[in-house]
């Protein structure tokens, strides 16, 4: 039986995708949308884009999630849940895309259901 794990990918709201032409940088989807599309292409079980209200990276000043537009340094989070083998394959395949992110593996616990 495969172990189900969750990973959290933390990055800045304004994160760019490297090695794109000028026009693709302007018209391409943002980093989180691209990440979700790539996870969907590998048929990962669950991918969530979690809205961060406030926070900071690397002990910088706190970014508040107020207003219609977010500061490019505002923290962002994608959470992915699936079996360990599929998530490892995803991380390996997207290694270049994930270079400037923080990937955290969350220990999953099975809760007894009534």
Contact assessment for residue 28 and residue 19, using Cβ atoms and an 8 Å cutoff: no
pTM as predicted: 0.80
- Report the chain's mean pLDDT, rounded to a whole number: 82
Contact assessment for residue 2 and residue 88, using Cβ atoms and an 8 Å cutoff: no
Would you say residue 13 has pLDDT above 70?
yes
What kind and span of H or E run contains 79? Answer: strand 75-83
From CA 80, how far away is CA 46, in angstroms rounded?
6
Task: Identify the band that residue 41 occupies on the pLDDT scale cut at 50, 70 and 90.
Answer: very high
- Residues of the chain with pLDDT > 90, as a percent, come to 33
From CA 97, how far away is CA 35, in angstroms rounded?
8
Would you say residue 68 has pLDDT above 80?
no
Can you name the CATH fold of 4-106?
Answer: Alpha-Beta Plaits (3.30.70)
From CA 55, how far away is CA 26, in angstroms rounded?
27
From CA 84, how far away is CA 92, in angstroms rounded?
12
> What is the pLDDT, as a whole number, of residue 91?
95
């Amino acid at each position: 039986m495969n172990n189900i794990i969750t990973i959290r990918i933390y990055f800045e709201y304004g994160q760019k995708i490297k090695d794109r032409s000028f026009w693709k940088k302007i018209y391409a989807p943002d980093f989180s949308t691209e990440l979700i599309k790539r996870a969907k292409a590998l048929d990962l079980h669950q991918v969530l884009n979690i809205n961060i209200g406030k926070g900071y990276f690397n002990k910088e000043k706190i970014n508040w999630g107020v207003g219609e537009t977010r500061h490019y340094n505002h923290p962002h989070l994608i959470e992915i849940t699936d079996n360990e083998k599929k998530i490892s394959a995803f991380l390996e395949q997207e290694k270049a895309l994930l270079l400037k992110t923080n990937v955290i593996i969350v220990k999953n616990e099975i809760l007894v259901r009534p």
